[in-house]
Chains A and B, each alone.
Chain A
């Protein structure tokens, strides 16, 4: 039996003291774990909605080049659900988003700027294959800063010694970078410009580098160049045959708890109105072989 008279000073070195300490620590740990678990179970204000068929919010992971178009489509979708479902967007480089989903990130829809990333998810059986669809097409353009004293008029000009820095997306994670690398390779410029490339983490960062004049030129999608407005000048468009078709696939994620809502979002994207929004921002239709925009 523990004689509590001797424990008043909490003598840690006595056996009784240690037992008491162990009990305190155990109680604290149980309390902490309980708090943690309580937080995990519910999902804030959606705890009710989890069980209902109508979701309160869905998460769409989309390539960053889709940012402006999708934000508008998100509003359209919300209106269509009678303002009951909002869209949480997660924009980034398609490769990074793919990684996140592979690692269990809670996305309901994935829209990529390249087939490669979607194929990777399909191979791991992470998407609802019957929901997969190509919804848009893009073109690759060469842009320069608005006030640049380096004259670049074509892709071939990139090989000129006066061009010191060229921004492209990181081919490992950014589809725009992959396409750019492909195009440069096809045009026979890859080796000549290799040591002048500045790799960006996503295509919008490429745009940013050009806007800020940190680089002499950059390769982005025509839709991004449009967003850049007057701060950048488009000097050339890459021929469609210099790279794989820039097709954007979209699909619902199998692990989603809002598959129905996810598919409804995809429907909106594929609908006539959705396609009109995309066209507004410079995307061409996925079905047309020769994009006119």
Chain B
């Protein structure tokens, strides 16, 4: 049970972090460097899962992606597949709750990159995307890494929303936080202890890394 939960957690969290990395960078850049109507609304919507109780987030995920959900019903009709009770559903839950953390950190970091560097890049003939990759990103590296580590840690500990959309099925969707819950609920002290220790160790490493990254020297 412990191994299953660990493997599942690692799978869900790595996929979720990868998605958060790409999607988070996109929105961070959008919010940091562009102006458009409704920008603050988008920011609020993306930040919402940060303050919403995870079970509320879970509820909305069910409403959206459940078999009879707003989107889920179409998916089910077309493919006979549903997000509910699958590890993919767990990934969605993890992404939704950890995305705001990544965006907050990355956006601040990107905003702090002086606009003169990007302008210089444009005058040297580079487009937006290349400038983002070669100038903005390297200079905003610290904040982006910190954001990723935070997102990773949050995804690893995600419980409420995961339980609701993905259920608690050992071997399929039972991530480590869910496994601990079950171990305690069924009186399995030994297992609960091991699981808790592993999760704590991972969290400590995450905190250590975040602090270390924040402390490294800044480029001019």
Residues of chain A whose beta carbon lies under 8 Å from any beta carbon of chain B: 93, 95-96, 98-99, 102, 164-165, 170, 172-173, 197-201, 212-215
Contact = CB atoms under 8 A, between A and B. Distances in A.
A214 B85 contact: yes
Given A98-B187, A173-B182, A214-B67, 6 more contacts: A99-B185, A102-B187, A173-B186, A201-B168, A214-B66, A214-B68
B125 interface: no
Interface of B: 62, 66-68, 80, 82, 84-85, 163, 167-170, 182, 184-187
Contacts of B62: 212, 214
20 contacts: A95-B187, A96-B185, A98-B187, A99-B184, A164-B80, A165-B85, A172-B185, A173-B185, A173-B186, A197-B169, A199-B167, A199-B168, A200-B167, A201-B168, A212-B67, A212-B68, A214-B62, A214-B66, A214-B68, A214-B85
Contacts of A99: 184-187
A212 B168 CA distance: 17
Given A164-B80, A212-B68, A213-B67, A198 B186 contact: no
A132 B88 CA distance: 46
A194 B118 CA distance: 57
Nearest to A199: B169
A95 B186 contact: yes
A77 to B, nearest CB: 29
A212 B68 CA distance: 7
Contacts of A98: 187
A147 B84 CA distance: 18
B186 A212 contact: no
Given A99-B186, A198-B85, A170 B168 contact: yes
B85 A172 contact: no
A212 B170 CA distance: 22
Contacts of B185: 93, 95-96, 99, 172-173
A44 B190 CA distance: 37
A170 B187 contact: no
A212 B66 contact: yes
A123 to B, nearest CB: 12
A170 B181 CA distance: 12
Given A198-B169, A214-B84, A170 B182 contact: yes
Q: Which of the listed residues B66, B182, B184 has the most CB atoms from chain A within 10 Å of its own CB?
A: B182
Nearest to B168: A199
Closest 5 CB pairs of A and B: A172-B186, A213-B68, A96-B185, A214-B84, A198-B85
Contacts of B80: 164
A99 B186 CA distance: 7
Contacts of A96: 185
A245 B168 CA distance: 27
A267 B184 CA distance: 33
A173 B67 CA distance: 26
A170 B167 CA distance: 11
Nearest to B84: A214
Nearest to B81: A164
A88 B80 CA distance: 44
Contacts of A95: 185-187
B76 to A, nearest CB: 9
Contacts of B66: 212-214
Contacts of A215: 85
A98 B62 CA distance: 30
A99 B181 CA distance: 12
A257 B153 CA distance: 44
A170 B169 CA distance: 9
Q: Which of the listed residues B66, B80, B85, B163 has the most CB atoms from chain A within 10 Å of its own CB?
A: B85
Nearest to A213: B68
B72 to A, nearest CB: 9
Contacts of B186: 95, 99, 172-173
A56 B100 CA distance: 47
Q: Which of the listed residues B163, B170, B184, B186 has the most CB atoms from chain A within 10 Å of its own CB?
A: B186
A114 to B, nearest CB: 13
A11 to B, nearest CB: 29
A102 B68 CA distance: 40
A164 B85 CA distance: 11
A98 B84 CA distance: 29
Contacts of A93: 185
Given A214-B66, A214-B84, A172 B167 contact: no
Q: Which of the listed residues B68, B169, B184, B187 has the most CB atoms from chain A within 10 Å of its own CB?
A: B187
Contacts of B85: 165, 198, 214-215
Contacts of B182: 170, 172-173
B82 to A, nearest CB: 7
